[in-house]
Amino acid sequence: MSDPDKTTFPAETYRKDFPILGREIHGKPMVYLDNAASTQTPREVVDSITDIYFSHKANVHRGVHTLSQEATAMMEATREKVRRFIGASSTDEIIFTRGTTEAINLVASSYGSMLKPGDEIILTEMEHHANIVPWQLLRDRQGIEIKVVPIRSDGSLDMDAYRSLLTERTAIVSVAHVSNVLGTVNPVAEIIRLAHDAGAVAMIDGAQAVAHIPVDMKQLNADFYAFSSHKIYGPTGVGILYGRRELLDRMPPYQGGGEMISHVSFPHTTFAELPFKFEAGTPDYVGLAALHTAIDYVCRIGLDNIAAHEEELLRHTTGRLLEIPGIRIFGTAPGKSAIISFLIGSAHHYDTGLLLDKLGIEVRTGHHCAQPLMHVLGIEGTVRAAFALYNTINDCDRFIEAVRRIAPMLT
C-alpha cells in the first residue's frame, strides 16, 4: 500500500517502532491522538529500560563499584545528550527533575524566594496549571503580583498588551512555548528579548514544544526552559530544567537531602556544585538513562522532518473537519502546532470523547489543565486531537470519518 501522505515522511514505518499502536480499542484498530498528554514509547526506549534493570542497575554517584559507575555514566550521558539537544552551553545548566511541573516549581520556589513584595510576574491566559499554580503559591508566600497577557480571537498572544504589562517591577515572565490547547506557537525569542529589556528573567514551559519543533537555547536566550520526557517519546517520571548558570549559581537549593550536598554537619551544611545542588535524593536514573534513547530516536528522524509531517496532518485534518456542520475549532493562529481543540455544536466534550473512543479514536476531553483559558473562551472544555510523528493521513481520515458519523447524533 502506498503512503498517501504527500510528504515522503515514512510514518507507516515509524509506527512499527511503537508496539502499542497495533492495539485494538472496542474491536477497532486504535487511532492514538492524545499525544499532547503523553506520546507513546518506541521499543528501543523500553528495551533500554529493560537493559538497565537487567544489566546495569545500581545507585548513581556514590559508588566505587563497577555497576554504580556504569549507571552514573549512563545518566550523565543523558545530561550531555540533553545539553546538545537544546543547545545549552554546559551540562551544569541541565537539571534533572520529575517533569515540567517540578521544573517550574523549582524555579518558583528557589528563584522566587529572592523576589520582594511588589515584584510582578507575567503569565498568559493560555498557560497550563503547571505554569500558574506554582506562581500563585509564591504570591501567597512572597507578596508578589501576577499579571496576565490576554490572547486574541485566533489564540495568539496580544503582544501589545504584553509590552504594556512589562515595567521595572516585572521580575519574571513565564510563558508556554506552545499552547497545549490552542496549538499556538508563541514568539518566545521576542517575548524573552522584551523581558530582558525590562530587566526581567524569562522562563519558558517547553512541554509541548520539544517533541515537535527544534529548540535552541542560544537562539532563544531563555533563562529557564522546562520539558517532560513522557511527551517526547521517553519514559514517564523524568524531565528537564535548563537554567542559565549565573542564575542557578545565585539560587538557593530547592529540596534538601543526599546528592545535593558537599558537606553536612549539624551546625552547618555546604551544598554541591551545579547541577547537583538542585538534585536531592536518588533520581530516576533508569528513566533518565532511557531518555537518552528517546532523544536519539527523535534526532535520527529529525525535528524538521517531524514538524513538516505534523503540519501536513494538521492541514489535512483541519480542512476536512471544518466541512462538518457545527464544528468549532479553538486556536487558529498562523504557524500553530498540530493540536486541534474543537466542539461539535453544543455537544458536551465528554460525550464526543466517549463516542470517538467507541470508534477506536483516543482523544482527550476536558479543560486540559487550562481552566483560566476555558473561562476566556467561555466554555467548560474541548475535545482535543494532538498529532505525533507516528500518526498517518489514514489516522486523520479515520478521525474525521468518526467525527462525521457522530456529529448528527450529538447535535
Q: Name the site residues for ligand PLP (rule: CB under 6 A).
A: 36, 99-101, 128, 130-131, 176, 180, 205, 207-208, 228
- Measured in whole angstroms, how far is the alpha carbon of residue 49 from the centre of its chain? 22
C-alpha to C-alpha distance for 335 and 358, rounded to whole angstroms: 32
Of 270, 279, 232, the C-alpha closest to 62 is 279
Q: What share of the chain is helix, strand, coil (3-state, %, to 5)?
A: 45, 20, 40
Query: Closest CB to ligand PLP among 88 and 175?
Result: 175
Query: Closest CB to ligand PLP among 119 and 279?
Result: 279
- Interhelix angle 349-358/393-410, rounded to 10 degrees, is 120
C-alpha to C-alpha distance for 380 and 392, rounded to whole angstroms: 30
Please tell me which residue in 189, 198, 369, 374 is annotated as part of the active site.
Answer: 369
- Could you tell me which residues come within 8 angstroms of residue 186 by beta carbon, excluding any fewer than 6 positions away? 124, 156, 157, 175, 176, 177, 178, 179
C-alpha to C-alpha distance for 215 and 77, rounded to whole angstroms: 20
Query: Closest CB to ligand PLP among 134 and 360?
Result: 134
The distance of closest approach from Cβ of residue 116 to ligand PLP in the complex, given in angstroms and rounded to an integer, is 27
The distance of closest approach from Cβ of residue 203 to ligand PLP in the complex, given in angstroms and rounded to an integer, is 11
Query: Closest CB to ligand PLP among 130 and 213?
Result: 130
**DSSP assignment of 222-270, as one string?**
-SEEEEEGGGTTS-TT-EEEEE-HHHHHHSPPSS-SSSSEEEE-SS-EE
The distance of closest approach from Cβ of residue 387 to ligand PLP in the complex, given in angstroms and rounded to an integer, is 14
Residue 318 CA: distances (Å) to CA of 165, 331, 395 = 34, 11, 13
Query: Closest CB to ligand PLP among 184 and 392?
Result: 184
Residue 280 CA: distances (Å) to CA of 69, 77, 275 = 19, 19, 11
The continuous run of DSSP H or E covering 328 comes out as strand 327-330
The distance of closest approach from Cβ of residue 97 to ligand PLP in the complex, given in angstroms and rounded to an integer, is 8
The distance of closest approach from Cβ of residue 371 to ligand PLP in the complex, given in angstroms and rounded to an integer, is 13
- Could you tell me which residues come within 8 angstroms of residue 235 by beta carbon, excluding any fewer than 6 positions away? 41, 45, 49, 229, 284, 286, 287, 290, 291, 294
The distance of closest approach from Cβ of residue 207 to ligand PLP in the complex, given in angstroms and rounded to an integer, is 3
Catalytic annotation present for 396: no
The distance of closest approach from Cβ of residue 359 to ligand PLP in the complex, given in angstroms and rounded to an integer, is 25
Query: Closest CB to ligand PLP among 207 and 274?
Result: 207
Q: Residue 38: what residue type?
A: S
Extract the C-alpha cell encoding 305: 522532518
Residue 44 near residue 52 (C-beta atoms within 8 A)? no
Query: Closest CB to ligand PLP among 9 and 111?
Result: 111
Looking at the annotation, which residues are catalytic? 369
